[in-house]
A and B are shown apart, each in its own frame.
Chain A
Amino acid sequence: MPLVPKEVYEELKDYCSRLAQRGYVTAHGGNASIKAGNLMWITRHASSLEKLRFEDVIQVYLDKPSSFDALSSTETIVHRQIYLETPNLAVLHAHPPNSVALSFFMNEIIPLDTEGYYVLRKIPVVEGSPGSLELAKNVAEALKTHYAVVVRGHGVFSAAKYMDTAYQYLCMVEHSAKIIILTKNLEKAGFKFIQPKKF
């Protein structure tokens, strides 16, 4: 196998494990990648992010396909497009339940919570079949102007220069989605929504 640097594997393993611990991915869902030059290291198709093994990280090219695309995540095409169209160096994709649930009802998610609003401002909701060029283009386009994007009924992509930042964005999307759902439920239960005076 083309040699994957040990520190790349360790970083991917760390953040993939965190996504799993938070319940943002199920058994074999989600994927993650790191870019370096014309290369991308991405998690293997159907690998378990809970327990990423060294052989679960696959090296592929950015500017061209290679036979190793057969081993890499179904969403390799999306990660590749993000790197080609944005200056990001790390991408995470997970299926956090509140964000996915909310995507069935909204075309964009505007966080109600202060931190989510200040950092993310707006999270677009896009469409596209998993692994399709349509999805790749929609996600990459959205990430040109946003830190994260929700694919309707599917999951969240976040991208940043650093893996830790991408992880922060993804967690914030899910946190904001949870706040919206909780808030709506409270409203439905008769509580009156009070907008903060200084937001």
Chain B
Amino acid sequence: MYGWNGKILVVDLSNKTLKTLTINENVLSEYMGGRGFGVKFLWELTNPTIDAYSADNVLVFAVGPLTSTLIPTTGRFTVTAKSPLTGGIFYSSCGGFFGFKLKNSGLDALVIKGRCEKPVYLQIDDETFQLKDATHLWGKTTKETIKILEEDLGKDYSFACIGPAGENLVRFACIRGGDGNFAGRGGLGAVMGSKKLKAIAVKGTRKTKIADEKSLTELMKKIRVRISWNPVLSKALAYYGTSALVNIINEHEILPTKNFQLSRFKDAEKISGEALREKIFVGRKSCYNCPVACKRVVKLENMKVEGPEFETLGSFGSMLMVNSLEAIVEINQLCNELGLDTISTGGTIACAMELSEKNVLDEKIGWGDVEKIKKLIVDIAYRKGLGDKLAEGSKIFSERIGFSDVSMQVKGLELPMYHPDGVLGQALAYTTSNRGGCHLNAYLISVEILGYPYLMDRFSPVNKPNIVAYLQNLAAVMDSMVICKFLGFEFDEETFAKLLVAVTGKPYTQESVVAAGERIWNLERVFNFKAGLKGEEDKLPSRFKVDVKPMLKEYYEVRGWKPDGFPSKNKLKNLGLKVEEDAVGSQGSL
């Protein structure tokens, strides 16, 4: 078999069994891997109505057919489960080297079911798999956990682990996938915590088999040249990392500020990519086989740490009115070690700050109060005092005290750092994302602000539903192959189909690649409907002025969905999805 290993490891934590299974060839072709495997396996194995923290929830760690090849950015992996934050299906993609090693171990996916009574970690060494006691790791930060595991097992392994936030079931706890990489969003770290799975250690020596080495080598030459020509990939991201966006987004007046009450931060320059480069930049770092190397290494007192990404600069900078770059670096470190998603943490604290300003909370939390922010972050991770309430996420927190309009989220997921009032397409993408308030399911900023592949009028709704649906399908494919979204600044299904053909030998075409994305998107949508996230949840917080309803209607039509937002029978049939409208998941076995 080319591209894939064709094998998954199923771990049942409740009865401590581990077994490998072969994956059906049709599933490989139609769902590819990563996010596609995630939704396929969750649909097959779970009832969408289950509680995210129940033993019945399933965690899927998966790589794709392109993983661990010479193709840039192919060291990634995805994690999928039912999210405790949104209540829907949720995948999160993570860079680094863990995916590369998981693929080299001979597996395409890990399917983790059940729940342990005592903490464990999973060790994978080529074809040897075992669950090991993790009592000594429980309570440790992500950094401490990786350090201990490295000392115990050696540096040949890559690790995915959770911190105290995941152990304490914070609804937006993340999974650390190695040095400075995170499956950040949706609280998948808390799902790991609920299963008492502290970490996964993996190493492997296999190589991905390539169907047509010669074609792949030729394609790679062209890909590298095109990356070097692309200003975003070869200049901005390489020079500034994602922090390049701070000034760009602020100058377009869409940088969320003071919990989205404003869209321009007067001190943006102080926390910008330019400031980061000038004041604290030490070096660059890359994930497996990536020529872009967008990760920043910055100095913090006498330490070198991984620098904050754009989303973190916004979430703890403009959103909380913090204008100190050094303070944001410290806060970022704190979140990373405790295992918290920085966007949701910042968004939830911003919500609390606004409520405090309105005198709704007993506790005073002033805008820009860095010490208070740090204390709140620790309290969230350990669920102490107000932190315990905030650990539920801004939606649940604000609803419980009767001020739901102060939570800036869609479907429970705190919004990223693009104010929707100034980018109509992105507003529609937030509204319709299967993950909730997310920019990674369709990055309209690329066409509405950055001009890639060309600049669309950001204030016009014309053709936006079409573009949103297309980019959503494409994102689903990229997450299933599994590659970095940044490649989307230069490449599309034309290149992806050629790569898939060269690696797998399967007859992929541009059309079948986009169809795979559409299939994955629709199955996620079906899962969410069954889980209770219906069409009524396709909405933005009332704070925003943008009216998405006309675009939403058109979007449903473009998608081939019924007026209530559920895929039509024809659409499901055309995509080969056997879904009865009244069914609640397949609940079968693999």
Q: Are B231 and A76 in contact (CB under 8 A)?
A: yes
Cβ-based interface call for B8 (8 A): no
Give every chain A residue within 8 A of B2 (Cβ-Cβ): none
B228 touches which of A55, A69, A132 (Cβ 8 Å): A132
Cβ-based interface call for A44 (8 A): yes
- Which A112-167 residues have C-beta < 8 A from chain B? 129-132
* Per-position binary interface string of chain B over residues 443-456, scored 1 when its CB falls under 8 Å from any chain A CB and 0 otherwise: 00000001111110
B450 touches which of A70, A73, A77, A131 (Cβ 8 Å): A70
Q: Are A2 and B251 in contact (CB under 8 A)?
A: yes
Which single residue of chain B is at the shortest CB-CB distance from A53? B455
Q: Which of B235, B239, B274, B452 has the most chain A CB atoms closer than 10 A to its own CB?
A: B235
A65 touches which of B230, B235, B237 (Cβ 8 Å): B235
Count how many pairs of residues, one from A and one from B, have CB atoms less than 8 Å apart in the complex.
72
Query: How near does chain A come to B318, taking the closest CB pair, in angstroms?
Result: 15
Which single residue of chain B is at the shortest CB-CB distance from A69? B235
Query: How near does chain A come to B64, taking the closest CB pair, in angstroms?
Result: 28
A46 and B452 in contact, given A65-B235, A67-B272 (Cβ under 8 angstroms): yes
Q: Which of A55, A56, A65, A67 has the most chain B CB atoms closer than 10 A to its own CB?
A: A67
Query: How near does chain B come to A59, taking the closest CB pair, in angstroms?
Result: 10
Q: Are B235 and A129 in contact (CB under 8 A)?
A: no
Q: Are A46 and B245 in contact (CB under 8 A)?
A: no
Q: Are A70 and B244 in contact (CB under 8 A)?
A: yes
A131 and B228 in contact, given A66-B247, A67-B240 (Cβ under 8 angstroms): yes
Given A1-B251, A67-B247, A67-B272, 11 more pairs with CB closer than 8 A: A45-B452, A48-B454, A55-B455, A65-B235, A67-B243, A67-B246, A69-B239, A70-B237, A71-B450, A131-B235, A132-B228
Give every chain B residue within 8 A of A55 (Cβ-Cβ): 455
Q: List 20 A-B contacts (CB under 8 A).
A: A44-B451, A46-B455, A53-B455, A65-B235, A66-B247, A67-B240, A67-B243, A67-B247, A67-B272, A67-B274, A69-B235, A69-B239, A70-B237, A70-B244, A70-B450, A72-B231, A73-B231, A131-B229, A131-B234, A132-B228
Report the separation of the CA atoms of residues A72 and B237 in the bound assembly, to the nearest whole angstrom. 14
Q: Are B229 and A130 in contact (CB under 8 A)?
A: yes
Report the separation of the CA atoms of residues A25 and B455 in the bound assembly, to the nearest whole angstrom. 18
Report the separation of the CA atoms of residues A55 and B320 in the bound assembly, to the nearest whole angstrom. 30
Cβ-based interface call for A68 (8 A): yes
Cβ-based interface call for A184 (8 A): no
B interface, CB within 8 angstroms of A: 225, 228-232, 234-237, 239-240, 243-248, 251-252, 272-274, 450-455
Give every chain B residue within 8 A of A73 (Cβ-Cβ): 231
Report the separation of the CA atoms of residues A129 and B243 in the bound assembly, to the nearest whole angstrom. 27
A74 and B231 in contact, given A67-B240, A67-B244, A67-B245 (Cβ under 8 angstroms): yes
A129 and B225 in contact, given A2-B251, A70-B450, A71-B450 (Cβ under 8 angstroms): yes
A47 touches which of B235, B236, B274, B455 (Cβ 8 Å): B455
Report the separation of the CA atoms of residues A48 and B454 in the bound assembly, to the nearest whole angstrom. 9
Q: Are B452 and A67 in contact (CB under 8 A)?
A: no
Q: Are A69 and B454 in contact (CB under 8 A)?
A: no
Give every chain A residue within 8 A of B239 (Cβ-Cβ): 65, 69
Q: Are A28 and B231 in contact (CB under 8 A)?
A: no
Q: Are A56 and B232 in contact (CB under 8 A)?
A: no
Which single residue of chain A is at the shortest CB-CB distance from B239? A65
Q: Are B248 and A68 in contact (CB under 8 A)?
A: yes
Q: Which of A46, A73, A77 has the most chain B CB atoms closer than 10 A to its own CB?
A: A46
Query: How near does chain A come to B576, taking the closest CB pair, in angstroms?
Result: 36
Query: How near does chain B come to A134, taking the closest CB pair, in angstroms?
Result: 11
Give every chain A residue within 8 A of B230 (Cβ-Cβ): 74
Which single residue of chain B is at the shortest CB-CB distance from A28? B454
Q: Are B232 and A70 in contact (CB under 8 A)?
A: yes
A70 touches which of B248, B251, B453 (Cβ 8 Å): B248
- Which A1-53 residues have C-beta < 8 A from chain B? 1-2, 28, 44-48, 53
B252 touches which of A1, A28, A65 (Cβ 8 Å): A1
Report the separation of the CA atoms of residues A130 and B234 in the bound assembly, to the nearest whole angstrom. 12
A129 touches which of B228, B240, B246, B274 (Cβ 8 Å): B228
Query: How near does chain B come to A8, taking the closest CB pair, in angstroms?
Result: 17
Report the separation of the CA atoms of residues A66 and B71 in the bound assembly, to the nearest whole angstrom. 29
Give every chain B residue within 8 A of A66 (Cβ-Cβ): 247, 274
Which single residue of chain B is at the shortest CB-CB distance from A65? B239
Query: How near does chain A come to B229, taking the closest CB pair, in angstroms?
Result: 5
Give every chain B residue within 8 A of A129 (Cβ-Cβ): 225, 228-229
Give every chain A residue within 8 A of B273 (Cβ-Cβ): 67
B451 touches which of A2, A71, A77, A132 (Cβ 8 Å): A71
Report the separation of the CA atoms of residues A104 and B95 in the bound assembly, to the nearest whole angstrom. 43
- Which A71-111 residues have C-beta < 8 A from chain B? 71-74, 76-77
